[in-house]
């Protein structure tokens, strides 16, 4: 279908473009901006007056729960949530059941997603078989099956010799490794940030050292092997300082932070709110402020939802017994807008963290921007509209989020994937 998106404020961070102009879509691609191409006849016109036209958003951490955890969520429900949130590309962590450690599993997942004809998925393969940290996965075969990187999700590798071999192998073939910094013996029994709040509530704490010890190990091994490293879901000021130092020493490292950790801190646990039970834990207000500043100045490269749907049985329990995680696909845009406004950033710079900057980390070249010839993955949203987050309003099967009841800015009006209108909101 030939689609004209007319009179919208087109914001394209990759091309540093912010202007009111028309966007012409044909054959699943953007064929022109501003001036209609010759012989172009629109079969549908979307009036974007007063709205922002942006590249479809790219989420670096979205658990769709298939295979293995369909009672928590399904590909169908989470793809619908992605469309409602304007998220057109999803990086999928490997902690499914079974883990994404075999080419057949990866091909099955991508085939299922393609049949649903919604968001594009980019599987992140398991670094070790079964995420057990003992034997390396067949990385080359997994890349051929569609994996864009390798990770252990939330399961750290205890044996550093195994991790070093994995990084050496990845460096040989220029595969990027995504790791979440968790020292296993410092984090395995805790439930909240090790601070005054956890002490007052009687919760076992997870110290910042659980992140920095793990992170220091990863950075030293990356320095020794030359591997390209991406640190996922950073949570502390001390962790960011280590990354800053590693970069001065020549380590090729990027990092991201979740929407939860730039808006919340350990004080938001309140009276044992299980929706605030997250991994990594919500840390101190000082950590949150450092993460917001690092994201604003570009030292933190991208913002992700860390979408982790949990069923009600997993959350309606005492805090320490609840399952960690929060839904976030539909909140990625509103919380990005809220963070950018508080940081004093323009829409152009704020949206970069979930479009062009995220695309670079995944390695996507045909999305994350609105260049002529690019894949027509587009989000049209109203930045001035506000809405209250409710369980009924979330399309995700997981209704668990610390932001329930909050009023947030930004409403998605249209989501296009490869030139097809996949979502229309009010």
Give pLDDT tens digits for 187-209: 878 999 999 999 999 999 999 99
Cα separation, 177 vs 246, whole angstroms: 16
Which tokens is 383 given? 């930045």
Q: Which residues of the chain have pLDDT under 70?
A: none
Give the tokens for residue 40.
């172009």
Task: Please state, in angstroms and rounded to a whole number, the distance separating the CA atoms of residues 169 and 179.
Answer: 15
Nearest-angstrom CA–CA distance, 385 and 408: 9
| Best CA proximity match to 423, nearest among 385, 358, 376, 379 | 379
- Here the contacts of 163-167 (C-beta below 8 Å, separation 24 or greater) are 163/133, 163/217, 163/218, 163/221, 164/221, 164/224, 164/225, 165/136, 166/127, 166/128, 166/136, 167/221, 167/222, 167/225, 167/227, 167/229
Q: Decide if 101 contacts 129 (C-beta within 8 A).
A: yes
Alpha-carbon distance 8 to 19, whole Å? 8
Q: Are 123 and 99 in contact (CB under 8 A)?
A: no
Residues 78, 64 contacting (CB under 8 angstroms): yes
What per-residue confidence (pLDDT) applies to 88? 98
Alpha helices in 117-181 (DSSP H): 139-145, 160-173
Give residue for tokens 């044909």. Answer: 26
Q: Which two tokens stand for residue 155?
A: 């399961």
Stated pTM of the model: 0.96
DSSP at 87: E
Cβ atoms of 79 and 39 within 8 Å: the answer is no
DSSP, collapsed to helix, strand or coil, labels residue 29 as strand
- Cα–Cα distance measured from residue 247 to residue 253, given in angstroms and rounded to the nearest whole number: 7
Give pLDDT, residue 188: 79
Tell me if residue 216 falls in helix, strand or coil. helix
Helices then strands (H, E): number in the chain? 14, 18
**Tens of pLDDT along 157-186?**
999 999 999 999 999 999 999 999 988 888
Q: Strands 120-126, 149-151: parallel, antiparallel or unpaired by DSSP?
A: parallel
Question: Could you give the angle at the alpha carbon of 261 between the alpha carbons of 259 and 267, nearest 5°?
Answer: 130
The pLDDT value given to residue 254: 98
Residues known to be catalytic: 306
Do 139 and 150 touch, CB atoms closer than 8 A? yes
- The phi-psi region of residue 368 (left if phi > 0; otherwise alpha if psi is between -120 and 50; otherwise beta) is left
Do 127 and 165 touch, CB atoms closer than 8 A?
A: no
Taking the C-alpha atoms of residue 119 and residue 247, their distance in angstroms, rounded to an integer, is: 33
For residues 87 and 332, is the Cβ–Cβ distance under 8 A?
yes
Checking DSSP bridges between strand 57-59 and strand 149-151, what pairing results, if any? unpaired
């Amino acid at each position: 279908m030939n689609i004209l998106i007319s009179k919208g404020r087109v914001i394209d961070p990759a091309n540093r473009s912010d202007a009111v102009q028309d966007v012409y879509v044909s054959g699943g691609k953007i064929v022109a901006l501003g001036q209609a191409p010759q012989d172009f006849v629109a079969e549908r016109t979307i009036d974007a007056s007063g709205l922002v036209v942006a590249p479809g958003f790219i989420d670096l951490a979205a658990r769709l729960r298939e295979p293995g955890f369909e009672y928590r969520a399904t590909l169908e429900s989470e793809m619908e949530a992605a469309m409602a949130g304007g998220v057109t590309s999803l990086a999928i962590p490997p902690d499914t059941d079974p883990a994404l450690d075999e080419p057949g599993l990866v091909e099955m997942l991508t085939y299922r997603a393609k049949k649903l004809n919604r968001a594009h998925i980019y599987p992140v393969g398991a670094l070790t078989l079964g995420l057990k940290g003992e034997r390396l996965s067949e990385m080359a075969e997994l890349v051929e099956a569609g994996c864009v990187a390798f990770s252990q999700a939330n399961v750290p590798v205890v044996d550093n010799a195994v991790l070093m071999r994995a990084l050496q192998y990845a460096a040989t073939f220029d595969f990027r490794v995504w790791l979440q910094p968790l020292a296993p013996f410092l984090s395995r029994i805790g439930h909240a940030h090790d601070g005054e709040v956890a002490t007052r509530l009687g919760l076992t704490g997870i110290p910042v050292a659980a992140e920095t010890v793990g992170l220091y190990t990863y950075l030293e091994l990356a320095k020794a092997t030359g591997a390209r490293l991406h640190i996922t879901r950073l949570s502390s000021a001390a962790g960011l300082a280590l990354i800053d130092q590693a970069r001065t020493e020549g380590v090729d490292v990027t990092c991201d932070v979740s929407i939860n950790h730039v808006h919340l801190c350990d004080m938001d646990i309140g009276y044992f709110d299980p929706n605030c039970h997250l991994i990594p834990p919500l840390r101190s207000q000082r950590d949150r402020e450092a993460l917001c500043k690092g994201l604003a100045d570009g030292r933190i490269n991208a913002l992700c939802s860390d979408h982790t749907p949990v069923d009600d049985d997993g959350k309606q329990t005492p805090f320490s017994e609840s399952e960690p995680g929060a839904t976030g696909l539909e909140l990625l845009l509103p919380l990005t807008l809220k963070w950018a406004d508080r940081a004093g950033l323009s829409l152009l710079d704020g949206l970069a963290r979930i479009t062009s900057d995220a695309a670079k980390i995944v390695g996507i070249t045909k999305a994350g921007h609105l260049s002529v010839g690019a894949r027509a993955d587009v989000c049209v949203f109203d930045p001035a509209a506000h809405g209250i987050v409710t369980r009924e309003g979330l399309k995700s099967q997981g209704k668990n989020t610390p932001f329930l009841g909050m009023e947030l800015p930004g409403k998605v009006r249209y989501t296009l994937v490869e030139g097809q209108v996949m979502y229309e909101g009010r």
